[in-house]
Structure 1
């Protein structure tokens, strides 16, 4: 692994990629000058973050502590004036939320969902065995590399299951600054009752994320928090929308827009529906672990799938080769012209 220097002069900022942390952090495309390597730099504005500074510290420490190929790598973190700079690998396709918003409004292809899901479960299995609950699984916290590797981010919301050297059967703490994650959280976590919750709450979030990747938006989007909580507590399980779960009659009632027509014409496999249902069972006891889900036939039957970058077309990764060879690339318009693609401001919430 390359040695990165903790000084701003070693990095050439090329463009703004997006924002995160509720607008209190910016993610930039940058070149590491000693090696010409393209990187992502996240700048936390500590003057804006203030009382949430402990979340930044937690995210940096835990992300660097958890070393796994399916978890985003933070190579270096250092202070620059009022900002904290975090140097990480460039994830050239951005987040899954970016892909949905930009290219796949009606949802990703099934094979792409399976490949992404397999990587997410691999990361979760590792996280859970290390004694942590992620508590923020969603499309914007899944980044895709140029080679099609999906990596989890968002570890500032994570909490330990090991307290004072003892593994806890349940946790009762509620994640801080979680307003943007409520739709993905499990019913037992949202209830905040005496029973608490455990790592199976992440499995429920995986199910919600599957719906988000398949349908183009997460379940309960646009509903009030109270209604969302009521539906989850009642055991209302969201579904992958296709011609089976969204019959033609319902589609016609929904005004016949292009989204409904797209749903009418697609059908997800029984295995994909099965995994989603397993993840979103109301009783956490009956949900499988991440390790158990990885043995599901869904993943065994898709070992010879096309590579993820091919499945994500027309989306294209940022062209590292162009950026490497063009020292005069200093603004977004130039990058757009040279790489023949559009780089857009988005939500890189990692």
Structure 2
């Protein structure tokens, strides 16, 4: 893709973001250009992502899962009506507002489905959630049914704590997903409706999968609570992370071209972001723990992580200072 094609793709993406009108998709506020970078300001979802929620709880109940997936399907219903395929449905792209509402985000890899070209054959997305037809890149390409497969995988992840094939290397998963039998919950202790919903989403032949609209009528959602259950879960999770002071230490050497960006981060979006530093430290150290190669290293990382969280609780703003100093150090090393 040359520069002109790339620019056209960005413009089309921004035009679509501007016309989005769905409570189940993140809203677009502003787009501006800084040097050769395009900055897109989207709706802030203070509850984080469903991936954050799963890190804390491990897995979720069927009723809570149904509530989340129902919102995902309503977002997909809107996208598919607009001839768009999301192409990267996963927990990290399912966002939660401060009020416990669920919204689909990250349309950076979404694709247009025009009336003249209703199929795509690019491999885009995250391996463990990819539909078989996306990986195989068949002549027929793929369509909105690829999002339905990813929704089924995400449902399994919410209920069980991990997506199928998660223990495999990404390349191994890419080979196995088209070749092996579709994942299921048949051997798991879940309701019949839950198992049937997942089975419907994960049909190997795309045309056999229901549409988002059809799935919204599935009996799986009969257990879905009318009131959002996520607000209670968010409060319980956030209770373990004490927010630090809103007073912010400004950068020691602000760059002239960064003034506009700094202004954006010191507004209401910045306050909400700074209040999450202790949780970000916890999440980052958890990822380091996962990458540790032996039990001794894992024990050391876990102890260090717990000390960081404890220090933040006793000294509000310490995590912010750590992140800021690391940021300056990394910038210095790169220069």
* Range into which the TM-score falls when normalised by the shorter chain: 0.5 to 0.7
Q: CA deviation at 1:149?
A: 1.1
In structure 1, how many angstroms separate the alpha carbons of the residues matched to 2:159 and 2:235? 16
Alignment match, 2:152: 207
Distance in 2, Cα, partners of 1:95 & 1:318: 17
Greater strand share, 1 or 2?
Answer: 1
CA distance in 1, matches of 2:197, 2:221: 10
Kept in 1, the 8 Å contact 2:64–2:224? The answer is no
Aligned residue among 55, 73, 76 for 1:121: 73
Match of 2:41 among 65, 72, 87: 87
* 79-88 or 190-199, larger mean C-alpha shift: 79-88
Aligned counterpart in structure 1 of residue 140 of structure 2, from 168, 183, 195: 195
Q: Provide the TM-score with structure 2 as the length reference.
A: 0.67
1:192: Cα distance to partner?
Answer: 0.9
Find the residue that maps to 2:41 and give its secondary structure.
strand
* Larger RCO (CA within 8 A; separation ≥ 6): 1
- 2:208 aligned partner: 286
- Residues 217-256 of structure 1: pairs in structure 2 closer than 5 A: 217-240=162-185, 245=187
SS of the residue corresponding to residue 86 of structure 1 reads strand
2:203 is paired with a residue of what secondary structure? Answer: coil
Alignment pair present for 1:143 and 2:143: no
> How many Å separate the matches in 1 of 2:26 and 2:201?
24
Given that 2:121 and 2:138 are in contact with CA atoms closer than 8 Å, whether structure 1 keeps it comes out as no
Give the match for residue 314 of structure 1. Answer: 236
Q: Any residues of structure 2 matched to 1:1-350 within 5 Å, and which?
A: 57=11, 59-81=13-35, 83-101=37-55, 103-104=56-57, 106-163=58-115, 166=116, 168=117, 170-175=118-123, 178=124, 181-240=126-185, 245=187, 267-304=189-226, 307-316=229-238, 328-329=247-248, 342-344=278-280
Q: Deviations over 1:11-37 (max 9, x none)?
A: xxxxxxxxxxxxxxxxxxxxxxxxxxx
Note the residue ranges of structure 2 that are not aligned, 5 or more in a row: 251-270, 285-335
TM, length-normalised to structure 1 = 0.64
| 1-structure distance, mates of 2:81, 2:276 | 43
The number of aligned residues is 260
Q: 1:151 to 1:306 in 2, by over 3 A?
A: closer
Q: CA RMSD in A?
A: 3.5
Q: Report the Cα offset of residue 280 of structure 1.
A: 0.5
Q: Secondary structure at the match of 1:183?
A: helix
Does the 8 A contact of 1:134 with 1:159 survive in 2? yes
Secondary structure (helix, strand or coil) at the match of 1:292 reads: helix
Return closer, same or farther for 1:55/1:141 CA change in 2, 3 Å cut-off: farther
CA contact (8 A) 2:71 2:102 kept: yes
- Give the Å deviation of 1:61: 3.3
**Kept in 1: contact 2:24–2:71 (CA 8 A):** yes
Higher Cα Rg, which structure: 2
Moved more, 82-91 or 202-211: 82-91
Q: CA deviation at 1:114?
A: 1.0
CA deviations 1:186-243 (Å, max 9, x no partner) are 1011111122222111100101111222222222223244542443223522234xxx
CA gap of 1:226–1:343, structure 2 versus 1, over 3 A, is: closer
Structure-2 separation of matches of 1:340 and 1:118:
27
Moved beyond 6 Å, runs of 4+ = 51-55, 338-341
Structure 1, unaligned stretches of length 5 or more? 1-50, 247-266
Compute the displacement of 1:153 (Å): 1.4
Per-residue Cα deviation, 1:84-127 (whole angstroms, up to 9, x for no partner): 332222211111112222x02x3122222111101100010111
Q: Is the 8 A contact 1:92 1:317 kept in 2?
A: no
The answer to whether the 8 A contact 1:112-1:312 is kept is no
